Amino acid sequence: MMRMPQRPYHHGDLRTALLDSAERTLRERGTAALSLRELARETGVSHAAPGRHFKDKQALLDALALTGYERLAQSLEAADDPALPLEPRLTALARAYLSFAVRNAALLELMYARKHDTDLSEQLTSAVDRSVGSFERLISDAQRRGEIVEGDSERITLVAAAGIQGLAAFTANGSLDPEVALAGVDEYVHHVLHGLKPR
Amino acid sequence: MMRMPQRPYHHGDLRTALLDSAERTLRERGTAALSLRELARETGVSHAAPGRHFKDKQALLDALALTGYERLAQSLEAADDPALPLEPRLTALARAYLSFAVRNAALLELMYARKHDTDLSEQLTSAVDRSVGSFERLISDAQRRGEIVEGDSERITLVAAAGIQGLAAFTANGSLDPEVALAGVDEYVHHVLHGLKPR
DNA sequence: ACCTGAACACCGTTCAAGT
DNA sequence: ACCTGAACACCGTTCAAGT
């Protein structure tokens, strides 16, 4: 916890400090435990100070969601190797998403619960698009090579991504053991590509 | 709103009245707007009265989630026609789930956010199992007929259900238009059964 | 058995005033 | 420009006391 004993009147980077503290609380004690006043206390600042940087609690949550999407997009981009054949490529991407979901369950919940009417929604939209983009690129690439059925690539991305999102949701709320989920990704991807009907 | 002007000292069925009021609030104004004190006010009872019927707020939310699962299980069972061929049968089930998700978005969110450590968790578990059961039965039936690949039927159910859950999640949080989602169910089910790879 | 009223320890938000 | 302290209107929860 270690706080600087004599912080100067101006914090310096209160906004960042609040976001960091919020994310730690989120990870350690869940969404319900997140209070602006406690955040302020932990950061060694008056309870009214957060109001300078976030117009209200929702604004802080939105900012938190934004950093989440940015990190997710980055993880997905780092995990995507266009040189890989379709199935391992999709598997890697699915693994990256699921592993983000496992490591950031509460944050992901918050990311999906967003009420999109803030003034950072352009940034949010772009971060979301970046995340979806990795999947979309994979699908279009595969379609171009004839490795995936033709049709609206957005819809097909939805099919592929919906299942992974579902697995992530089952994992986040405890219906599915994280290790089982991660281990089962290969099987999942295989089923999605080959279908549940026998060939 | 119409309240009985001179309610007797004992409400009669306060528990049910609170749950009904809670569900209406949930539907009309979302989870964030749900407060025990307001519920008590709406029901015309003191703010401490709910404490007699629910040990705390979470207990009320759990009870609400339970009724949700019971209704969901019922919808799914009503929608499942074992006489139907595989694809239309799964489509009907998926439609029923998605339509529940659309009509009860906030409730579903709550159902998935459950912290399962209440004393009604046996009932909850059984209601959840009933819901999953409809999907599992469909999968096992189809496997028996050789219409679906062999393998652990629980895992395969997971694959089928995860995608539908994902669609529901995308719909509930506004990423996907409800009508588009419902209309796209057929396509989704088709892809899941036949796979994304060309045959 | 069921409900009330007061009390307690929390919230989020606002706003004059301080540095 | 940034932060404080007091104030306001809310919470959830508890507990003696009332019916």
Confidence at residue B9, expressed as pLDDT on a 0 to 100 scale: 62
B32 and B110 assigned to the same domain: no
> Residue A99 falls within a domain, yes or no?
yes
Whether this prediction's pTM lies above 0.85 is answered by yes
B147 and B119 assigned to the same domain: yes
B135 and B91 assigned to the same domain: yes
> Residue A123 falls within a domain, yes or no?
yes
Q: Which residue has the tokens 């008056």?
A: A46
A36 and A82 assigned to the same domain: no
* Chain segment A5-51, per-residue pLDDT in tens: 346 666 789 999 999 999 999 999 999 999 999 999 999 999 999 99
A57 in contact with nucleic chain D (CB within 7 A): no
CA distances from B100 to B65, B79, B107, B138 (A): 13, 11, 10, 19
> Residue A178 falls within a domain, yes or no?
yes
* Chain segment A108-128, per-residue pLDDT in tens: 999 988 665 556 678 888 999
Tell me the torsion sign for CA atoms A172, A177, A178, A183.
negative
> Residue B61 falls within a domain, yes or no?
no
B75 and B51 assigned to the same domain: no
Q: Are B185 and B98 in contact (CB under 8 A)?
A: yes
Chain A residues in contact with B156 (beta carbon < 8 A): 191, 196
Neighbouring residues of B83: CB distance < 8 A, sequence distance ≥ 6: none
Alpha helices in B30-152 (DSSP H): 36-43, 50-53, 57-79, 86-103, 105-112, 121-144
Provide, in whole angstroms, the distance separating residue A37's CA from nucleotide C9's C1': 13
* Chain segment A62-77, per-residue pLDDT in tens: 999 999 999 999 999 9
A127 and A100 assigned to the same domain: yes
Distance from CA of B103 to the nearest CA of A (A): 17
> Residue B46 falls within a domain, yes or no?
yes
Instruction: State which residues form the domain around B43.
Output: 10-55
A92 and A143 assigned to the same domain: yes
A141 and A79 assigned to the same domain: yes
A122 and A170 assigned to the same domain: yes
B72 and B27 assigned to the same domain: no
Inter-chain CB proximity A166 and B170 less than 8 Å? no
Tell me the torsion sign for CA atoms A78, A177, A181, A114.
negative
Inter-chain CB proximity B158 and A176 less than 8 Å? yes
* Chain segment B65-90, per-residue pLDDT in tens: 999 999 999 999 999 999 999 999 99
B85 and B26 assigned to the same domain: no
> Residue B62 falls within a domain, yes or no?
no
> Residue A14 falls within a domain, yes or no?
yes
Angle, alpha carbons A137-A142-A145 (nearest 5°):
130
What is the total count of domains within chain B? 2
> Residue B199 falls within a domain, yes or no?
no
Q: What is the dihedral of CA B31, B33, B37, B41, to 10 degrees?
A: -110
Query: Residue B49 pLDDT more than 70?
Result: yes
With helix as H, strand as E and coil as C, how does A128-160 read? HHHHHHHHHHHHHHHHHCCCCCCCCHHHHHHHH
CATH of the domain at A26: 1.10.10
